[in-house]
Amino acid sequence: MTVDFHSHTNASDGTLEPAQLVASMRKRGVTIFSITDHDTLRAYDGLNVEGAKLIPGIEINTTWRGSDVHILGYGLPLGPSELSDTLERNREHRRTRVDTMIRQLNAAGYALTLDDVLTQSGGGHAMGRPHVAKALVRAGHVKDVSAAFGSLLARGGAGYVPSLHITPQEAIGVIARSGGVPVLAHPGRLKDATILDDLAQQGLVGLEVFYPTHSTNQVAHYRAKAAQYGLVMTGGSDFHDARWNSAGVGMDVNEGDIRPFLELVA
């Protein structure tokens, strides 16, 4: 079964328009999927997915114990709600963080303006570090996005500003109160593996077991963790851009593995 419960559009830090992402899903044969932009549900506005099942999703950036922790939410309301208020607070933090990055870069001799970043972010609805990185590339300050992340925007770099989002517990709570299913994204990327164990006892419902960079051993490990804590399993490509995600959209999974998740969001 080919699914994809983790993908991004240019409403956050992806490069495709929502309709283009849907077309990519159709081409790959993905008939059930989610768009999980960072801190925004804008991609769902007026989106036509005739012939496919779209599960409203989100990826909320959170910070805990000095680590970035991403919480996915599924089966969510698309109108005004406690969730939409929380997402707006996160987006406001994003805007403030980008402003600070720009000031620091300017002070270090790197000419960059807010308009430069806005041009890379589709209007600036959910700005973030990737948009600053792309603006730096376009301005000729670095050769590519990876170089920006590894130098100017890395810890200790001229443009580094720590993220201070809400906590994962807060994200889990607001997703649950909104009638959604909170899931821990890409656990293999956690700096502190014990975060999974802690959140599993603090309202987490699911775990993104199937992920492009998870090794076979990691998949087996997270499958066991899901069974240990009674978490449903999900999977997704984390697609942002064809240049970064060479495998494209879609994840091939056994239907039995994700059936419990589908039953929660049906």
Q: What is the pLDDT of residues 110-167, one digit of tens each?
A: 999 999 999 888 766 788 888 999 999 999 999 999 999 999 999 999 999 988 789 9
Does a structural domain hold residue 104? no
What pLDDT, in 10s, does the model give residues 246-257?
889 999 999 999
Number of domains in the chain: 1
Q: Hey, what amino acid is at 183?
A: V
Of the candidates 101, 114, 93, the residue with the CA atom closest to the CA atom of residue 155: 101
Residue with tokens 């996005």: 145
pLDDT digits (tens, 9 = 90+) for 84-105: 999 988 888 889 999 999 999 9
**Position 221 in a domain:** yes
Q: Retrieve residue 261's tokens.
A: 């998740």
Question: Per-residue confidence at 51, pLDDT binned at 50, 70, 90?
Answer: confident
Residue 124 falls within a domain, yes or no?
Answer: no
Q: Which residue has the tokens 């804008």?
A: 42
Residue 163 forms part of a structural domain: no
Q: What is the mean pLDDT of the chain?
A: 94
Structural domain contains residue 157: no
Q: What is the pLDDT of residue 163?
A: 82
Residue 243 near residue 191, CB atoms below 8 Å: no
* CATH code of the domain in which 201 resides: 3.20.20.140
Q: What is the mean pLDDT of residues 62-83?
A: 92
216 is in which domain, residue-wise? Answer: 2-79+180-265
Asked if residue 250 is part of any domain, the answer here is: yes
**For residue 79, pLDDT beyond 90:** no
Residue 20 and residue 242 in contact, taking contact as beta carbons nearer than 8 Å: no
Model pLDDT for residues 195-219, shown as the tens digit of each residue: 999 999 999 999 999 999 999 999 9
Q: What pLDDT is attached to residue 124?
A: 63
| Domain presence at residue 34 | yes
Measured distance CA(51)–CA(239) in Å, rounded = 21
Q: What is the mean pLDDT of residues 225-232?
A: 98
The backbone torsions φ and ψ at residue 159, rounded to the nearest 5 degrees and listed phi first, read -105, 10
Residue 186 lies in a domain: yes
